[in-house]
Amino acid sequence: MKKLLPAILALGTFVSCSKEGGPPRQDVKLWVCPTCVQVPEARPEHNFKSSGVYKGILVGLGASGAMTVTLHNTGAEKKALMKLNGISAELTTNSLSSWQPGQAIDTALFTGTWNGQPVEMRFSVDTNGFNSEVQFDIPGKSILPFIFKESSDVVIESFEGDYTGDAEGVFNIATNGNDIGIIFSGVDVPMLSRLEHGKIDFKSETGMVIKGNFYDDEAGGTWQNLVTGKSGGWKALRTQ
Residue 63 confidence (pLDDT): 96
Q: Is the pLDDT of residue 9 over 80?
A: no
Q: Is the pLDDT of residue 3 over 70?
A: no
Q: Is the dihedral of CA 99, 105, 108, 113 positive or negative?
A: positive
Candidates 190, 186, 161; CA nearest to 176 is 190
Tell me: the pLDDT tens digits for 32-79? Answer: 999 999 999 999 999 999 999 999 999 998 899 999 999 999 999 999
Residue 28 confidence (pLDDT): 53
Ramachandran angles phi, psi of 75, nearest 5°: -165, -135
Tell me: the pLDDT tens digits for 214-227? Answer: 988 999 999 999 99
Establish how many alpha carbons lie within 13 A of residue 166's alpha carbon, considering only the half-sphere containing its beta carbon: 10
CA angle 139, 143, 149 (to 5 degrees): 130
Helices (H) and strands (E) in the chain, counts: 0, 18
Residue 181 confidence (pLDDT): 97
Q: Is the pLDDT of residue 25 over 60?
A: no
Residue type, 75: G
Tell me: the pLDDT tens digits for 67-90? Answer: 999 999 999 999 999 999 999 999
Q: What share of the chain is helix, strand, coil (3-state, %, to 5)?
A: 0, 55, 40
Residue 10 confidence (pLDDT): 34
Residue 15 confidence (pLDDT): 34
Report the relative pairing of strands 144-150 and 117-125 from DSSP bridges.
unpaired
Tell me: the pLDDT tens digits for 185-202? Answer: 988 899 999 998 889 999
Which residue stretches of 23-137 are H helix? none
Q: Give how far the C-alpha of residue 42 lies from the chain's centroid of Cα atoms, to the nearest Å.
A: 16
Tell me: the pLDDT tens digits for 110-162? Answer: 999 999 999 999 999 999 999 999 999 999 899 999 999 999 999 999 999 99
Beta-bridged to residue 150, according to DSSP, are 53
Cα(110)–Cα(142) distance, integer angstroms = 17
The radius of gyration computed from the CA coordinates of the chain, to the nearest angstrom, equals 19
* Overall average pLDDT of the 173-183 stretch: 97
Residue 157 confidence (pLDDT): 97
Residue 29 confidence (pLDDT): 57
Share of the chain above pLDDT 90, in %: 81
